[in-house]
Amino acid sequence: MSGSPQLAVGSRVRVRDDWPETRGRVHIRTPHYVRGRTGTVVRCLGDFPNPEELAFARPARLLPLYQVLFEQPQIWRQGCAGDQLLVEIYGSWLEPS
Amino acid sequence: MAGTVLRLEEVAGERLLRAVAALLAAKGIASPTEITEQIAMTDNASPAQGARMVARAWVDPPFRALMLSDGTRAAEMLGIPMRGAPPLGVLEDTPGLHHLIVCTLCSCYPRVVLGYPPFWYKSAAYRARAVRDPRGLLAEWGTVLDPGVRIRVVDSTADYRWMVLPLRPAGTAKWNQDRLAALVRETDMIGVTLPRLAGG
């Protein structure tokens, strides 16, 4: 059972601009530099237990895991046009853009 | 005296290991077979395993296709035990695209096929710079990409482990698989360097 609707390969997605670490103890696998940023789903890697729950030995629901492609210069405001970042992000962090 | 103490500690260690293994089995967490397999996996893990996969992919197109779609199954086909290891993904360099692997959050690394990560892979400097200034980082490694080659930095943030299938270097057309495998270094499979012929 998957916790979030499936996102199709090629969908434009926005990573939630959320900072749970400001609200208490957490374990997060979504890097800071992609929060609030928009990218493209390039691959669905299957369902995996939510690491944010696993880290605290809580029952972990299965979440779809995606590889999302971002334009590197847009994120850092430096770099070379055409260079990209490919990041694994759980479906719970993604919303259609 | 020191020898006696050491021996006693070794005996205690073996007893502890047996006791923990028996408890893991009794609680259904890990069977003795799984523990033996895990030890074998750790003992066999080295960049030579990844290099074997790369060399095979360079000479065997169906294997290459399998490796790119399911790295875990491709590794198993070469006798690399993958049970219990995170899934392996393989990213293919092309004449227009170069991959660079990093884990900005910690030090995720495909240990089963590349062994322990080099010390710098875990450094804050490598992790920060790989995503922010990959071209500056590659330049410091002496890695020069052809003009027009794009870089795709792969941040290994979650459940997969990633390795690069680099381009087969020119001048190796007549090489057999073993000779090709000996050419491939761990840094080539992370993407900080490119496979090159000695003296080339």
Tell me, yes or no, whether A73 lies in a domain.
yes
Give chain B's mean pLDDT. 92
Verify whether the Cβ–Cβ distance A88 to B157 is below 8 Å. yes
Domain boundaries, chain B: 2-42, 46-190
In a domain, A38, yes or no: yes
A34/chain B closest Cα distance in angstroms: 11
Strands (E), chain B: 88-92, 97-102, 150-155, 161-165
| Amino acid in the structure at residue A63 | L
Q: State whether A72 and B151 contact (CB < 8 Å).
A: yes
Tens-digit pLDDT profile for residues B18-56: 899 999 999 999 998 888 888 887 888 999 999 999 999
Task: Give the Cα separation of B138 and A80 in Å (integer).
Answer: 13
Check whether B81 has a pLDDT greater than 90: no
For residue A31, tell me if it sits in a domain. yes
Name the more confident of B84 and B115.
B115
* B69 contact residues in A (CB cutoff 8 A): none
Whole domain around residue A47: which residue ranges?
12-96
Residue B4 has what pLDDT?
Answer: 56
Cβ neighbours of residue A1 closer than 8 Å, sequence gap 6 or more: A61, A62
Q: Are B75 and B88 in contact (CB under 8 A)?
A: yes
Q: Give B94 or B17, the one with higher predicted confidence.
A: B94
What confidence score (pLDDT) does residue A3 get? 47
- Candidate from A93-97, B15-19, B76-80, B153-157 with smallest mean pLDDT: B15-19
- Domain membership of residue A7 (yes or no) is no
* pLDDT digit string, tens, across residues B113-143: 999 999 999 999 999 999 999 999 999 999 9
CATH of residue A69: 2.30.30.50
CA B126, B131, B134, B138: dihedral to nearest 10 degrees? Answer: 30
- Nearest Cα to Cα of residue A15 among A40, A48, A45: A40
Of residues A71, A37, A88, the one with CA closest to residue B150: A71
Active site residue B108: yes
pLDDT in tens, B158-182: 999 999 999 999 999 999 999 999 9
Identify the CA nearest to B151 among candidates A19, A29, A66, A76: A76
Chain B residues whose beta carbon lies within 8 Å of the beta carbon of residue A30? 157
In this complex, the residue of B135, B153, B160 whose CB is nearest that of residue A88 is: B160
Is B46 a residue of the active site?
no
The span from the CA of B54 to the CA of B163, in Å, is 10
Structural domain contains residue A67? yes
- Chain segment A46-81, per-residue pLDDT in tens: 999 999 999 999 999 999 999 999 999 999 999 999
Q: Which of A75, A14, A89, A4 is nearest to A45 (CA)?
A: A89
C-alpha A71/C-alpha A68 separation (Å) is: 10
User: What is the ipTM, given to two decimal places?
Assistant: 0.94
What is the reported pLDDT for A2? 45
In angstroms, the first-to-last Cα distance of chain A is 24
Per the structure, the count of domains in chain A is 1
Q: Give the span between the Cα atoms of B71 and B89, in whole angstroms.
A: 5
Q: CATH: 3.20.20.70, 3.40.640.10, 3.30.1360.200, 3.90.330.10. Which one for B46-190?
A: 3.90.330.10
B31 is annotated as an active-site residue: no
